[in-house]
Amino acid sequence: MSKKQSLKCPKCGSTDVEIIKNWQLTSPLPDRYGRITITVMGVVKCRNCGYQWRGVIGKIKVGGSGVAIGDKEIEEKKERRVKEIVLDLEEILSEEEE
């Protein structure tokens, strides 16, 4: 279910709405996970009664330790530990001589 479908006209209660204009607001402070919140705002118009209002279309949290769109947390891939390969040059040279 997309956010557009969940928008409801406050006057007549219809869900048949269209987003006329949208813009983004960026939060100046990160949350406790280091993510910045980007709120997508918009002007919405009801196709049934013609009423227009402004409201939140959606929210996105980016950066820090993860990403969230709306209330859904998106898991980031964890960094893999790099395997260390140690070569001893003297050992290799001694094997070649034999």
In a domain, 86, yes or no: no
Q: Which domain holds residue 27?
A: 3-74
Ramachandran area for residue 51 (φ above 0: left; ψ -120 to 50: alpha; else beta): beta
Give pLDDT, residue 3: 44
Query: What is the structure's pLDDT at 63?
Result: 79
The answer to whether residue 20 scores a pLDDT higher than 90 is yes
94 within some domain: no
Total count of domains within the chain: 1
Residue pLDDT, tens place only, 28-85: 888 887 888 999 999 999 999 989 999 999 888 887 766 666 656 655 555 556 677 7
Alpha-carbon 13 to chain mean position: 29
Flag whether 97 is in a domain.
no
Whether 95 maps to a domain, the answer reads no
Interacting residues of 87 by C-beta distance below 8 A, sequence separation 6+? none
Residue 93 placed within a domain: no
